[in-house]
Amino acid sequence: MINISKIKDALSSAVLNYYNIDSKTTIVIEDTKKDFEGDLTIVVFSLLKYSKKSPEDSAKILGGYLLNELDFFEKYNVVKGFLNLSIKKSYWLDFFNSWCREDSYGFVKKPSGQLYMVEYSSPNTNKPLHLGHLRNIFLGDSVVSLLKAAGHKVVKTQIINDRGIHICKSMLAWKKFGNEETPESSNLKGDHLVGKYYVEFDRYYKLEVEELMGQGLSEKEAKLRAPLLLEAQEMLVNWENGDQEIRTLWSKMNNWVYDGFEQTYKNFGVSFDQLYYESNTYQLGKEVVKKGLDNNSFYSKEDGSIWCDLSSEKIDDKLLSRSDGTSVYMTQDIGTAIQRFRDYPKLSGVIYTVGNEQNHHFKVLFKILEKLKYSWAQNCFHLSYGMVELPDGKMKSREGTVVDADELLDSVIFEAKSLTSERGFLEELSNKEVEDICQKIGLAGLKYFLLKVDPKKKMSFDPKETIDLSGHTGPFIQYTYVRINSLLKKFDISILSSDLNFNSIELSDKEIAVLKSIANFPEVMNQSAKQLSPYLLANYLYSLVKSYNSFYQEFPILSEVNKDCKNFRIKLSKLVSEIIGSGMRVLGIEMPKRM
């Protein structure tokens, strides 16, 4: 089936052939801007060295040639150095007819034979999941779906950061101030309870720092010599040495957190195929670091700490093992990477979904893996994304100034309930049905809001903007989907399988606009997967919905008297609903039956 992408390829080949240019040369072809007539635009400025003519003359001559050579186009116009080409209306009907016969439009049918691993979420076990985690989780989860849609096999994974000084801080605070409090006795989810004591550690630690500064120490010295921090550091050393009492406490508190995480993941519709734990992989990392020291890949300082020399890469040397023998994040990341390629030797690549605050960390990690001569190091990719900030500033876990994921989900569902109750469309449904619909609306608002922004950009989150039936939101897209399906129920389903008499159909510009959008879907899916950018798909779906709504408002289907025209519009509506449904599922968003 011919689509816009193939037309662009044919157009590019025709231009190359006309000027006898090398096939490696890129011909710039864009969608024609809305203010101008046309469907596709060729930017001719780069071709002037071949044409030896002015931009306008070059565009006119090339336009005449293309109309003769390619049967897609009916006319062209020239605006300075831009050649705007209009696709024949008959093409759109042929395209529509072939699209009707295709299953899973936009999805690759043939397996690629490639296997990818996508790491996302990867929380620390000293606090509950929060808003920052959600951008990570939704991004990673949708990238998994995009890769699958492109024909790849994917392993969904996370590394659970269950050891380290930050874990010991919450453990120590609970031991000192917790009075044997448990999730059951406190009526708190386990991850919330442990997070409470991580905040408590910071509160008492700051008091100790202030007291030491009052005794004449500098702030830097006070932070290093605060008794609570020294105890936490000692606890970490004892943990790595296998102290049974500390290990038992660690296991108990981590299990509280795991139970809490599992409940949150279930509520957000997220699951994983493979779990890795830092408490396991850091050991492998330590072994690799020790071997690296023995074979001179790394070096040791006088205090016994182990480092990697990265001066050849113009990067500061990296600490891999502290002087007391305890490992650092880099140690476990080395071990985790090696373990993954041992578990899945046919991996085509590993995609790390981690915030841009760790850009340098992953640059260093990949360089160290290359230095250790792992051939697969070049197949590791950091999917970096910007931080999520609140309107009043950055979130800080240790100070308790985060937006809790569980509370956030409750709030968007509450907003969805308020919205639906105001409209009064769900009054005859059971409480369970209303709850299901409102959860889908609330999750759609949250997921879409966090996915519609380019991952590379940081973003500000305002929950009030997520639930809106008229804005650039997930619920707005859901609403159009529900409205289309409500419309389709009013017609005999046999209409959808009947042949159309295209001779009696005169396409309007707004119908063509919808068909153009439909025709772009496979390329949007392709680019979204290629660039690991769900925001391309998210914004495409919004654009498709706007085009459809514009058409629907001007051409009501129920009142159309031309039978073939009416049937065409019914089929067109069905195709739009299918794309919306499948596209939103890739983003991890379920569609309600009513709103």
- The four Cα atoms 6, 8, 12, 13 give a dihedral, to 10 degrees, of 20
**Superfamily of the domain at 407-586:** Isoleucyl-tRNA Synthetase; Domain 1 (1.10.730.10)
As a whole number of angstroms, the distance between CA 456 and CA 384 comes to 6
DSSP structural state of residue 85: E
pLDDT of residue 2: 56
Assess contact for 441 and 592: CB atoms under 8 A: yes
514 with 572: CB under 8 angstroms?
Answer: yes
- CA 197 to CA 173: how far, in whole Å? 6
DSSP-assigned letter for residue 593 = S
* Cβ(383)–Cβ(351) below 8 Å: yes
Specify whether the backbone of 424 is left (phi greater than 0), alpha (psi in -120 to 50) or beta.
left
What are the structure tokens assigned to 496, written together? 């959808």
Measuring CA to CA, which residue among 214, 120, 410 is closest to residue 206?
Answer: 214
Give the whole-angstrom CA distance, residue 267 versus residue 272: 14
Parallel/antiparallel/unpaired status of strands 29-31 and 40-43: antiparallel
The span from the CA of 8 to the CA of 87, in Å, is: 11
pLDDT at residue number 34: 85
Amino acid at 97: N
Structure tokens at 559: 């009142």
Domain ranges across the chain: 4-87, 163-271, 407-586
With the C-alpha atoms ordered 250, 255, 261, 264, is the resulting torsion angle positive or negative? negative
What distance in Å separates the CA atoms of residue 480 and residue 582, rounded to the nearest whole number? 14
**C-beta separation of 161 from 204 below 8 A:** no
Q: Which amino acid is at 63?
A: G
Q: Quickly count: other Cβ atoms within 10 Å of residue 275's Cβ.
A: 12
For 131, 187, 193, 232, 406, the CA distances from 255, given in Å and listed in that order, are 22, 16, 12, 20, 18
Structural tokens at position 133 = 């985690």
- Tell me the sheet residues that pair with 242: none
The fourth-level CATH superfamily of domain 4-87 is: Arginyl tRNA synthetase N-terminal domain (3.30.1360.70)
DSSP code string of 33-70: PTTSS-SEEEE-GGGHHHH-S-HHHHHHHHHHHHHHH-
Instruction: Say if residues 271 and 156 touch (Cβ distance below 8 Å).
Output: yes
The model's pTM is 0.90
Sign of CA dihedral 366, 367, 371, 376: positive
> How far is it, in rounded angstroms, from Cα 401 to Cα 395?
5
Annotate 439-462 with DSSP letters as a single string. Answer: HHHHHHHHHHHHHSS-TTS-EE--
Question: What is the CB neighbour count within 10 angstroms for residue 378?
Answer: 11
Q: What is the pLDDT of residue 428?
A: 81
Whole-number Å distance between alpha carbons of 489 and 375 = 56
Alpha carbons 276 and 261: distance in angstroms, whole number: 15
Residue 307: phi, psi to the nearest 5?
-135, 160
Per-residue pLDDT of the chain (595 residues; tens, 9 = 90+): 556 888 899 999 999 999 999 888 889 999 999 889 999 999 999 999 999 999 999 999 999 999 999 999 999 999 999 999 999 988 898 888 877 667 788 999 999 999 999 999 999 999 999 998 999 999 999 999 999 999 999 999 999 999 999 999 999 999 999 999 999 999 999 999 999 999 999 999 999 999 999 999 999 999 999 999 999 999 999 999 999 999 999 999 999 999 999 999 999 999 999 999 999 999 999 999 999 999 999 999 999 999 999 999 999 999 999 999 888 999 999 999 999 999 999 999 999 999 999 999 999 999 999 999 999 999 999 999 998 887 654 444 444 457 899 999 998 998 888 887 777 767 788 889 989 999 999 999 999 999 999 999 999 887 778 888 788 999 999 999 999 999 999 887 666 666 667 778 889 999 999 999 999 999 999 999 999 999 999 999 999 999 999 999 999 898 888 888 988 999 999 999 999 999 999 999 999 988 8
Encoded amino acid at 153, one letter:
K
